[in-house]
Amino acid sequence: MDIVYVRDLRLDARIGIYEWEKRILQKIRVDLEMGWDNRVPAASDAIKDTLNYKTAAKRVMELVESDHYELVERLAETIADTLMHELHIPWIQVTVGKPGAVRGSSEVGVRIERGNRQWQAST
């Protein structure tokens, strides 16, 4: 399986469990790795055959802007589920990090993997 990725997508999010967190925007960082068979777009050289990383990134931005998330776990699951279903992705890895959330750490967060990484397109 090939990988289409978006790294270090930095967004302002309404995220957190504490009352003060519910009143502010916090910086988060999102990484995506998405399974795709890139042989078709490589042969056609046509954007319509790709897993368009710009489309995926814009959808993540919309999801982050649309709601308050108490937990990074819920945001990661929402991203994974939405992208898998809307973009027909067989496998995805989503990392959501909160820079500076823990003193002494550059970032904390979660990484989840969903779907079938061994998926093969029919040839």
Is the CB of residue 87 less than 8 Å from the CB of residue 72? Answer: no
pTM given for the model? 0.92
- Dihedral of the alpha carbons of 59, 111, 20, 22, in degrees to the nearest 10: 30
Please write the tens of the pLDDT for every residue from 86-110: 999 999 999 999 998 889 999 999 9
Q: Please tell me the predicted confidence (pLDDT) of residue 100.
A: 85
Structure tokens at 106: 């550059």
pLDDT at 122 over 90: no
Of 22, 27, 58, 98, the active-site residue reads 98
Percent of the chain with pLDDT over 90: 89
Residue 48 appears among annotated catalytic residues = no
Task: Give the pLDDT mean for 74-79.
Answer: 98
101 HSE (CA, 13 A, CB side)? 20
Q: For 94, phi and psi rounded to 5 degrees? A: -120, 130
**pLDDT reading at 117 higher than 60:** yes
Write the secondary structure of 47-67 as one string of H (helix), E (strand) and C (coil): HHHCCCHHHHHHHHHHHHHHC
- With CA atoms as reference, report the closest residue to 78 among 92, 90, 3: 92
